[in-house]
Amino acid sequence: MNTDRGRQPLELSIDDYKRVLDQVSRLSVEWFEKLDERRIQPPVSGAEAQALLGGGLPDVGEGMAALDSLHEVLANARAQNGRFLGYVMGSGEMVAAVADLLASVINQNTSAWHSSPTAVTIERGVVSSLASAVGLDGFRGNLTGGGSASNLMGLAMAREAKLGANESGISAGSGAVVYASTEVHMAMPKAMALLGLGRRQLRLIAVDAAFRMRVDLLEKAIARDLAEGRCPIAVVGSAGTIVTGAIDPLEEIAAVARRFGLWFHVDGAYGGLAAIAVPDKLRGLRHVDSVALDAHKWLYQPVDCSCLLYHDADAARHAFSFTDDYAKALADDPIEAFAFFDESIELSRRFRALKLWLSWKFHGLDTFRAAIQRDLDHAQMLAEAIRDQDSLELLAPVELSAVCFRSIDPKGSADLNAFNAAVLKRINADGLVYLSNATIHGQFALRACFTNHRTTDDDIDEVVRAVTAAARAS
Ligand SMILES: *Cc1c(COP(=O)(O)O)cnc(C)c1O
């Protein structure tokens, strides 16, 4: 025991720290060891979880006994093995997880070079490598807590570049409008609301049969808004829509944005990183002013790790720097004067880059590229298997790694929506496979999304087996 405890009430002795670390280390090893055999969705009710884990916290510390509670945490956590295919969720790479622990141990504040030379240097390097990996050499940016934050920041940059609202706010009659497709992620209307632009000023442009924005309708909408005296400021393309993974025609949208002088932001939170494996699918990315990429999705990083990239760092400073000369006063050297807080909504910032840096150095970009390609292949394998089964129906083209399909009731039930909802519930309750759902043209769809480096070819067979078995039982 630390004899100095009275004066440093929260600090452990090195021996106690080792004991805590050993126990956590054992738990983490056991987690990965048993990952494949765990039920994916823990069989716990809301009331049970509340009783187990949601109670009040003690006035008097439990010491090492507190760690025993971690068993309940792990036992009731969702297990993201190779058959977890819900939403768009990165599978959590091991080296990155360990690096995240170390990032907290050294507890650097990645706010400015002066505050943490190592962390800031590493993050700038990671961002620059990420940009190059998706074909955006020379772009700048920073890591954020998620695609929602990255998209919000991208739109904040657009607002400042085109309206200049930071100082006096948005004038009531600004008439500012933004364009995106009907398939846009909810992060975008949320950003419109938070930035005072208003959700109604987000024009939702209809999509074609493959769920891509209709550029002819985009042009018409812009022309109409201009004719009616409004002020178009930005167009948001989706690179991997959240439901089907469709990629908007980015080249054409970029041309329209350029012609009308609009900011071009791309929400690539889901699919932008696919450019590492299939650059041709995402060629239009090179025209963006800003793009959101989620490394905690398709680079398999533990949450959180998103990235906003932008072409013009001055635009980021205009949007986010309040005291332009603040950091510059501290150092003449441009590297040492750099401050992320001048280009971000965050001031104190986690050392998010360490996990991506270490996991990238450990595995190499080629391995990530191969993993992304495998996800793309697995999606095509599942789509193929669905086409081969009379009892299954594909509901959307598979452009990236999201597969939307449904089960045709073998008993001929009329309400396929209710039937598939029941099928999904059964699959996820069984715990071997986890899918999520989506609505496609009013139809309830089962949705499998591959951003999972643990998925094997055999897991694809398990998905088909789980769906057909659940359909028979429903
Ligand atoms: C996941 C996602 C978001 C939101 O990102 P978070 O990291 O969950 O905040 C936005 N857009 C798309 C297309 C996404 O897939």
Q: Is the pLDDT of residue 48 over 90?
A: yes
Nearest-5° Cα angle at 356, 112 to 88: 115
- Band the pLDDT of 414: cuts 50, 70, 90: confident
Per-residue pLDDT at 8: 83
d(CA 97, CA 91): 11
- The atom number, within ligand 1, closest to the CA of 270 reads 15
| pTM (predicted TM-score) | 0.96
Mutate to test the pocket of ligand 1, among 185, 248, 352 (most ligand atoms within 8 A of CB): 185
Helix (H, G, I), strand (E, B) or coil at 394: strand
Report the pLDDT averaged over residues 41-46. 93
Q: Is the pLDDT of residue 60 over 70?
A: yes
Q: How many CA atoms lie within 13 A of 68 on its CB side?
A: 5
d(CA 229, CA 468): 55
Average pLDDT, the chain: 95
Question: Which has more confidence, 382 or 5?
Answer: 382
56 Rama class: left (phi>0) / alpha (psi -120 to 50) / beta: beta
Q: Is the pLDDT of residue 373 over 60?
A: yes
Instruction: Report whether 272 contacts 282 (CB < 8 A).
Output: yes
Contacts of residue 444, defined as CB under 8 A and 6 or more positions apart, other chains included, come to 406, 416, 417, 418, 420, 421, 437
Instruction: Report whether 402 contacts 245 (CB < 8 A).
Output: yes
Instruction: Report whether 92 contacts 304 (CB < 8 A).
Output: no
For residue 141, give the nearest of 435, 338, 281, 6 by alpha carbon.
338
Q: Is the dihedral of CA 423, 424, 426, 430 positive or negative?
A: positive
- The atom number, within ligand 1, closest to the CA of 303 reads 7
d(CA 320, CA 464): 48
Mutate to test the pocket of ligand 1, among 87, 89, 143, 148 (most ligand atoms within 8 A of CB): 148
Contacts of residue 448, defined as CB under 8 A and 6 or more positions apart, other chains included, come to 85, 379, 382, 402, 403, 405, 435, 463
Per-residue pLDDT at 134: 98
Instruction: Report whether 176 contacts 170 (CB < 8 A).
Output: yes
Helix (H, G, I), strand (E, B) or coil at 202: strand
Per-residue pLDDT at 3: 53
Contacts of residue 414, defined as CB under 8 A and 6 or more positions apart, other chains included, come to none
Instruction: Report whether 108 contacts 351 (CB < 8 A).
Output: yes
Report the pLDDT averaged over residues 388-395. 95
Report the pLDDT averaged over residues 80-96. 97
Contacts of residue 1, defined as CB under 8 A and 6 or more positions apart, other chains included, come to 13, 16
Instruction: Report whether 376 contacts 280 (CB < 8 A).
Output: no
Residues contacting ligand 1 via CB (< 6 Å): 88, 146-148, 151, 185, 187, 240, 242, 267, 269-270, 294, 306
- Band the pLDDT of 331: cuts 50, 70, 90: confident
Report the pLDDT averaged over residues 440-458. 98
- Distance from the alpha carbon of residue 158 to the mean position of ligand 1, in angstroms: 19
d(CA 376, CA 386): 16
As a whole number of Å, the end-to-end CA separation of the chain is 59
Report the pLDDT averaged over residues 222-242. 98
- Band the pLDDT of 410: cuts 50, 70, 90: confident
Q: Residue 95 CA to chain centroid, in angstroms?
A: 19
- Distance from the alpha carbon of residue 186 to the mean position of ligand 1, in angstroms: 8
Nearest-5° Cα angle at 247, 244 to 251: 170
Residue with tokens 């769920």: 211
Q: How many CA atoms lie within 13 A of 412 on its CB side?
A: 0
- The atom number, within ligand 1, closest to the CA of 187 reads 10
Q: pLDDT for 246-256, tens place per residue?
A: 999 999 999 99
Instruction: Report whether 470 contacts 423 (CB < 8 A).
Output: yes
Instruction: Report whether 88 contacts 451 (CB < 8 A).
Output: yes
d(CA 63, CA 65): 5
Classify strands 231-238 and 176-181 as parallel, antiparallel or unpaired: parallel
DSSP structure string for 206-220: -B-TTS-B-HHHHHH
Instruction: Report whether 124 contacts 337 (CB < 8 A).
Output: no
Residue with tokens 């469709």: 246
Per-residue pLDDT at 201: 97
Q: Is the pLDDT of residue 93 over 80?
A: yes
